[in-house]
Amino acid sequence: MSAGTYGNCQVKGGLFKCGVAANAMCVYCGKPFCERHGVIGAEGEEVCDSKNCVAKREDLARHLVYKDAVLSRNRQRLCGVDACGVEFLAQCSRCKLYFCKDHIETREMGVIEEGMHFERPVAVCRHCWQRRPIWERT
């Protein structure tokens, strides 16, 4: 799309919003941004430079590496934790990967069922539990 299709850049540069013609819209916060205030990646990944959105982009990159490593162990029917070596028993409700009983916990987490938000006990791995605060920020 041509520059300016999204209106003006809404990313703050100090006390004020940038205001130049935006050429992308952030996939996380939905704000339009210019090429100075964000990254337009492969496959339409558009992420502005706001602190929360950058944290999400970086977390997603780490998470994809983590998933590949766990999946490799899971293919051998082993717990996703590298040093464990025990056969897996349960699936994480977030990443959908498998872990032994010592490396998965039941935690109260928000889930969406039929369009409604509920707090429910779910099985979750430590990795998914620790990354939760990044994704719960606005």
Read off the DSSP letter of residue 76.
T
- The band of 138, judged by pLDDT with boundaries at 50, 70 and 90, is low
Q: Report pLDDT digits (tens) over 52-104.
A: 999 999 999 999 999 999 999 999 999 999 999 899 999 999 999 999 999 99
Read off the DSSP letter of residue 95.
T
Tokens representing residue 68 in the block: 């590949």
Instruction: Write down the domain spans for the chain.
Output: 12-48, 51-136
Q: What is the DSSP string of 18-70?
A: --SBP-EE-TTT--EE-GGGEEE-GGG-EEES-HHHHHHHHHHHHHHHHHHHH
24 class by beta-carbon count within 10 Å (0-12 exposed, 13-18 middle, 19+ buried)? buried
The pLDDT value given to residue 61 = 93
Q: Which residue has the higher pLDDT, 18 or 127?
A: 127
Backbone φ and ψ for 89, nearest 5 degrees, come out as -130, -35
Q: Which residue has the higher pLDDT, 103 or 14?
A: 103
- Whether pLDDT at 3 is above 90: no
Q: Report pLDDT digits (tens) over 107-119.
A: 988 777 888 888 8
- The band of 135, judged by pLDDT with boundaries at 50, 70 and 90, is confident
Amino acid at 23: N
Q: Report pLDDT digits (tens) over 25-60.
A: 999 999 999 989 999 887 778 999 999 999 999 999
